[in-house]
Amino acid sequence: MSTYLVEGGFPLKGSVAVHGAKNSVLPILAAALLAPGECVIHNCPDLSDVEASLAILRHLGCSARREGTSVIVDASAPTRWDVPDRLMREMRSSVIFLGAVLGRMGRASLCAPGGCELGPRPIDLHLAAIRALGGTITEEPGGMLCQGALHGADIVLSLPSVGATENAMLAAVCAKGTTTITNAAREPEIVDLQNFLITLGARVRGAGSSVITIEGGAPLHGGSYTVMADRIVACTYLAAAAAAGGEVEVTGVDWRTLSTVTAVLTEAGCAVRSQPGKIALRRDRPLKGVRPVRTAPYPGFPTDAQAPVMAALCKGSGCTVFVENMFESRYRHVDELIRMGADIRVEGRVAVVYGVPRLHGAQVRSSDLRGGAALVVAALGAEGESRIEDLHHIDRGYQCLEGDLAALGARIRRVAEDRKT
């Protein structure tokens, strides 16, 4: 086990490049299963969730290896259609393999997925999409068996679920006929998946809008593709600069995908300058409360940005109300922030943050990916040293977070922790 030691109170300064997007590369790796050939995926971050996906691909009979910042997947001859419990438990988004395995192999056996504990994330929408495409689903002890010949269909999602949209897209690529997905998720990562599928020869259009059309049955082949930058990592670095003070430039990210986040940080008192491929933030005065922040599907305020931005706004003046509309149990970081001196009141999906003059270092524990990143953000703006434990959550979505922050001037280091005592 590892721990972060963070000595707060040092402004950040410099430029940092953002690695590839976790929420793009995971469905893209699943999509690589569809192509009978070699896929070269560039800008692929070295994350524990990525390693879990590569392990699933290898179990299915694919070749998967890393070469620097690229991953090469050869799905010429997959041999299995099951994903065992030990692999599914590694990450919640492992359910994304459902559509790909079913589409390529004609059947799929999956167990319940694992990952962060953010309250119920029912996969009903995923299963409804599979059924609409002609798949039959049989419950098994601890999992399910999906099989059947897939055909085009008109799918209407009751909610714009990112995962259900991706699963429907992957399955529909292999279905005979045309599929339309209405009320589809509009996230940039959906557009990235569409562009990768097009690289493989699929006929997909409409991603980024609420209606996606897939003409299934096109012959697929391998290809080379570069994954988009991770907008939530970029948001975390911007929040870190807002918390610690200083001036930071984040490069490689499309500023338009973070406009709702930069609007909040600007209102809080930061000077933000957005240009093609980069966002610069300067904070040289105390932060202040802002109008209510309500998480929503894209292009609204991203739920993954809620915790890091909340952490930045803990120190300052005024009051900010956060309304979490996407997931239950997404305020697990609040108790840890309170240990650092934050004043936060939670009632259901609403958290009210009262700014305080200072935060102090404390021993805290991350309980999920973005909540863990929020503790790092808060620690950078706190007085004294903080110990942040359970870094495996953070490692799911950040590639060497401590290295990037240290390069900006943060006093942060990772130390091994012996828990045998």
Q: What is the pLDDT of residues 65-105, one digit of tens each?
A: 999 999 999 999 999 999 988 888 887 678 999 999 999 99
Domains of the chain: 2-19+229-416 (3.65.10.10), 22-226 (3.65.10.10)
Q: Is it the case that residue 368 has pLDDT exceeding 80?
A: yes
Q: Is it the case that residue 205 has pLDDT exceeding 50?
A: yes
User: Measured between alpha carbons, how far is 196 from 149 in angstroms, rounded to an integer?
Assistant: 24
Q: Is it the case that residue 45 has pLDDT exceeding 90?
A: yes
Amino acid, res. 217: G
User: Measured between alpha carbons, how far is 327 from 235 in angstroms, rounded to an integer?
Assistant: 19
Active site residue 116: yes
Q: Is it the case that residue 121 has pLDDT exceeding 70?
A: no
Region 325-333: mean pLDDT is 90
Q: How far is CA 418 from the centre of its chain?
A: 30
pLDDT of amino acid 113:
62
Region 386-405: mean pLDDT is 97
pLDDT of amino acid 419:
55
Region 234-242: mean pLDDT is 98
> 360 near 333, Cβ under 8 Å?
no
Of 254, 204, 218, 212, residue with least CA distance to 233: 254
Supply the DSSP symbol for 29. H
Q: CA of 148: how far to CAs of 60, 82, 156, 319, in Å?
A: 19, 15, 20, 54
> 414 near 406, Cβ under 8 Å?
no
Residue 242 burial by CB count (10 A; 0-12/13-18/19+): exposed, middle or buried? buried
Q: How far is CA 125 from the centre of its chain?
A: 19
pLDDT of amino acid 119:
42
| b/e per residue 49-63 (b: at least 16 CB within 10 A) | bbbbbbbbbebbebe
Region 148-153: mean pLDDT is 96
- How far is the first Cα of the chain from the last one, in angstroms, to the nearest whole number? 13
Region 183-209: mean pLDDT is 98
pLDDT of amino acid 251:
98
Amino acid, res. 268: A
Per-residue pLDDT band for 342 (boundaries 50, 70, 90) equals: very high
Q: CA of 183: how far to CAs of 97, 208, 305, 314, in Å?
A: 21, 11, 23, 36
User: Measured between alpha carbons, how far is 287 from 137 in angstroms, rounded to an integer?
Assistant: 52
Q: Is it the case that residue 132 has pLDDT exceeding 80?
A: yes
User: Measured between alpha carbons, how far is 362 from 7 in angstroms, rounded to an integer?
Assistant: 10
pTM value surpassing 0.75: yes
The dihedral sign for the CA sequence 405, 407, 413, 416: positive
Region 346-353: mean pLDDT is 97
> 204 near 134, Cβ under 8 Å?
no
Mean pLDDT, the chain, whole residue set: 94
Per-residue pLDDT band for 309 (boundaries 50, 70, 90) equals: very high
Of the chain, the percentage scoring pLDDT greater than 70 comes to 96
User: Measured between alpha carbons, how far is 4 from 185 in angstroms, rounded to an integer?
Assistant: 35
pLDDT of amino acid 317:
97
User: Measured between alpha carbons, how far is 38 from 201 in angstroms, rounded to an integer?
Assistant: 13
pLDDT of amino acid 116:
40
Q: Is it the case that residue 418 has pLDDT exceeding 50?
A: yes
pLDDT of amino acid 114:
47
- Choose, from 44, 116, 174, 314, the residue flagged as catalytic: 116
pLDDT of amino acid 118:
36
- Cβ neighbours of 156 (radius 10 Å): 13
User: H helices within 200-277, ranges in order?
Assistant: 231-244, 259-267
Region 378-390: mean pLDDT is 98
Q: Summarize the chain as % helix, strand, coil (round to 5).
A: 35, 30, 35
> 305 near 324, Cβ under 8 Å?
no
Q: Is it the case that residue 421 has pLDDT exceeding 80?
A: no
Pairing of strands 107-111, 82-83: parallel
Region 305-327: mean pLDDT is 97
The dihedral sign for the CA sequence 305, 99, 47, 76: negative
pLDDT of amino acid 163:
94
pLDDT digits (tens, 9 = 90+) for 256-288: 999 999 999 999 999 999 999 999 999 999 999
Sorted by sequence, the CB contacts under 8 Å of residue 390 that are 6+ apart come out as 1, 365, 366, 367, 372
